[in-house]
């Protein structure tokens, strides 16, 4: 199975981030503009300090009667974010997402944010890998006739 490095080589390393003191409204605008479901929250040194997802908004703003323009990202972000390195396999990443019920994992190399992987990326890579295996088997069967 391919590594996260292979996945990022196709998808790209760009990561949309936001600071902890930005408003939740600004975060939502950024997610809508980039058509993504999560932002990595970074401090002034660009270290990962949290993750803000659409789920955080749904569970911690609307349900608590908060107002997105008056709420800081730091107040609702998820902390203790699970990260992977580019050396980890796509399968291992899928296992982490399933076990921890998360949909986005930042990729960190030597303490530096170097990418992000979502559940859609992982599923897509796994389907592609299965398709490749099927084609190999078809070649094998056809060739052995």
Ligand X SMILES: NC(=O)c1ccc[n+]([C@@H]2O[C@H](COP(=O)([O-])OP(=O)(O)OC[C@H]3O[C@@H](n4cnc5c(N)ncnc54)[C@H](O)[C@@H]3O)[C@@H](O)[C@H]2O)c1
Angstrom distance (rounded) from CA 9 to CA 3: 10
Q: Tell me: does residue 14 bind ligand X (CB under 6 A).
A: yes
Contact 6, 88 (CB under 8 A): no
Task: Specify the stretch interacting with ligand X by CB under 6 A; choose among 8-16, 42-50, 73-81, 89-97.
Answer: 8-16
Report the site for ligand X in 37-56 (rule: CB under 6 A): 37-40
- Cβ-defined contacts of 100-105 (< 8 Å, 24+): 103/37, 103/38, 103/53, 103/55, 104/37, 104/38, 104/51, 104/53
Q: Whole-number minimum distance, CB 74 to ligand X, in Å?
A: 17
Measured from the CB atom, is 48 or 116 closer to ligand X?
A: 116
Angstrom distance (rounded) from CA 40 to CA 42: 6
Q: Tell me: does residue 92 bind ligand X (CB under 6 A).
A: no
Angstrom distance (rounded) from CA 36 to CA 45: 24
Among 3, 78, 88, 118, binds ligand X (CB under 6 A): 118
Among 2, 5, 6, 11, binds ligand X (CB under 6 A): 11
Residues forming beta bridges with residue 117, ordered by sequence position: 105
Q: Tell me: does residue 6 bind ligand X (CB under 6 A).
A: no
Question: Which is nearest to 105 in space by CA: 89, 73, 81, 79?
Answer: 81
Q: Tell me: does residue 22 bind ligand X (CB under 6 A).
A: no
Q: Whole-number minimum distance, CB 116 to ligand X, in Å?
A: 5
Q: Tell me: does residue 16 bind ligand X (CB under 6 A).
A: yes
Q: Which residues would be at the binding site for ligand X (CB under 6 A)?
A: 11, 14-16, 36-40, 103-104, 116-121, 124
């Amino acid at each position: 199975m391919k590594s996260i490095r292979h996945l990022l080589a196709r998808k790209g390393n760009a990561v949309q981030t936001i600071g902890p003191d930005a408003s939740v409204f600004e975060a939502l605008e950024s997610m809508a503009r980039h058509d993504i479901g999560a932002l990595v929250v970074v401090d002034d040194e660009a270290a990962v300090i949290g993750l803000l997802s659409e789920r955080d908004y749904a569970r911690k703003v609307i349900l608590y009667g908060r107002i997105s323009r008056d709420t800081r990202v730091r107040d609702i972000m998820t902390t203790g974010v699970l990260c992977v390195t580019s050396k980890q396999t796509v399968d291992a990443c899928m296992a982490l997402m399933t076990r921890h019920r998360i949909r986005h994992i930042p990729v960190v190399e030597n303490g530096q944010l170097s990418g992000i992987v979502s559940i859609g990326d992982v599923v897509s890579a796994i389907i592609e890998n299965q398709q490749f295996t099927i084609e190999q088997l078809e070649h094998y069967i056809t060739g052995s006739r």
